[in-house]
Amino acid sequence: MDTIAGMTDLSAPITLNDGVVMPRIGYGTYKVGDDEARRTVETALELGYRLVDTAEMYGNETGVGRAVANSGLARGDVFLTSKLWNDHHGYHKARAALESSLERLGTDHLDLFMLHWPSPKQGLYVETFQALLEAKEEGLIRSAGVSNFLPEHLEQVHAELGVWPSVNQVELHPYFNQAELRAWHAERGITTESWGPLGQRTGSLLHEPAVVEAVTAHEKTAAQVVIRWHLQHGCVVIPKSSHAERIAENLAVFDFALTDEEMARIDALDTGERQGIDPGSGER
């Protein structure tokens, strides 16, 4: 089992394949409105989060940017991530969209910028990623990553550009634990980042016996147990909540560790079925 518990300090940041240092846990803002994002991101930063994940498609970059500006933190102390939406694939469109994201966020650079989906029917993801690499050379972004890419898409990027993206942010939770993809990433130095980490589209993960038993053993919440599971598998994880108490709880996961047996029992919840869209389907 590819758990890293006991081998490394999971509260310490992870170093990406391009040398950029990234926190292992962050605050996700999917389905958080612009006004709400300003409030919740401010709360998250006050509570100690230093990674904030947004996207052009989320429609909340302005609110996120205002929260970062109002936090009192130096810009270099916040790892700010956004993503390029599918209708901006292509070299020139990507560059313009990046500049628009920077303007909305009120910053001169992003720490990580990702292609949100490969959109393989467009056939432009390699060209678009090239635009990200050039933006990195210019200092507009520090690291170039992707989201929802399959190995075939990553291999095409590598074949044509000679680099692996630093991060692939994918649907990942105990119901869809992506063990093969995680191992494939690790062999190539790509960091796996989990979206939808609590698998709540079905609403039952946090009540699974394997999770509940770990909750009892460690006196933690079910969400904390699942977040810890992600961390022990070496993933960066970006849970989301709009409630200050839960935002705080989701970060309090460094004072316990799941046993190998507990990890294996949670691993066994895997169904092999996505809750979101299949990146190879062409729907995005």
**What tokens does 248 get?**
């705080």
Phi/psi at 273 (5° precision): -115, 135
Tell me how crowded residue 263 is: count the other CB atoms within 10 A of its CB: 21
Half-sphere exposure of 65 (CA within 13 A, CB side): 18
237 has which bridge partners? Answer: 25, 194
The burial of 178, by beta-carbon neighbours within 10 Å (0-12 exposed, 13-18 middle, 19 or more buried), is given as buried
Residue with tokens 């147990």: 225
Q: How far apart (Å, rounded) are the C-alpha atoms in residues 242 and 117?
A: 26
Half-sphere exposure of 235 (CA within 13 A, CB side): 28
Element (H, E) at 47: helix 34-47
Rounded to the nearest 10°, the torsion over CA 210, 215, 218, 220 is 140
Single-letter code of the amino acid located at 103? E
**What tokens does 240 get?**
């989301």
**What tokens does 21 get?**
């240092």
Q: First vs last Cα of the chain: how many Å apart?
A: 33
Residues annotated as catalytic are: 58
Q: How far apart (Å, rounded) are the C-alpha atoms in residues 211 and 209?
A: 5
Single-letter code of the amino acid located at 130? Q
